[in-house]
Structure 1
């Protein structure tokens, strides 16, 4: 409830909504990847702090973002790049589940690395 009443969080959400509404497809993917990296960091902190419910919520948000990114792929026309991204997103989903089940922050490391590299690739697109 506090977040709903917090003017700063309301401003951040409004700003994010405005950016998303104006974003083209490439900008949207970059925004999702940035959000995923932020949520992965939160999930790691929750695991280390033994905040199980918060960890579960953060990992679920991560999985939702990964599934959203995967659903944006055009596997019929995207060729090898789309297939490779699909396989990387599948890897990330499986590792996120493993991190959640095991409560091991270290399992998130490879996911952060993969997502960071994907994000870097999108950053280099014009």
Structure 2
């Protein structure tokens, strides 16, 4: 019975997130992606600590998918050097996450967290300036 309640709640969360995404601006979508990415990095570390390796792999793959989505959303024509640098940081983060997954390295995930936290903060600060 508990499993059905959990499944129902998960479906509710997914549909709520889908509705938020449908109504979001491109800026809000980037923030949503970053929020999900940062949460998933925390989950990946906890899965390594708890030796839940299949869940760790799922979390790492989800992080990589989000990073790929962020990379594909970059506008290299308008963004110029900034977009190129962000793409390089996202690619580096993907590389480090693959390595962290292989080596079960929480330290490497924390390195990625630090890099992405700075970018995430930059995006959030950009939003406060444009309001």
| TM-score normalised by structure 2 residue count | 0.89
Superposed CA offset, 1:28-48 (max 9, x none): 000000000000000000011
- Counterpart residue number, 1:70: 71
Q: Of Structure 1 and Structure 2, which has the larger fraction of its residues in helix?
A: 2
Number of aligned residue pairs: 125
Show structure 2 runs of 5+ residues with no match: none
- The 3 A distance-change label for structure 1 pair 68 and 4 is farther
| TM-score normalised by structure 1 residue count | 0.93
Q: Which structure carries more relative contact order (alpha carbon 8 Å, separation 6+)? A: 1
Superposed CA offset, 1:8-53 (max 9, x none): 2222112111110000100000000000000000000001111111
- Counterpart residue number, 1:86: 87
Kindly report which structure 2 residues correspond to 1:94-105, keeping only aligned pairs within 5 A, or say none. Answer: 94-105=95-106
Whole-angstrom CA distance in 2 between matches of 1:111 and 1:73: 19
Whole-angstrom CA distance in 2 between matches of 1:83 and 1:119: 17
Show structure 1 runs of 5+ residues with no match: none
- Counterpart residue number, 1:113: 114
Kindly report which structure 2 residues correspond to 1:1-126, keeping only aligned pairs within 5 A, or say none. Answer: 2=3, 6-125=7-126, 126=130
More displaced stretch, 3-12 vs 75-84: 3-12
Please identify runs of 4+ aligned residues in structure 1 that moved more than 4 A: none
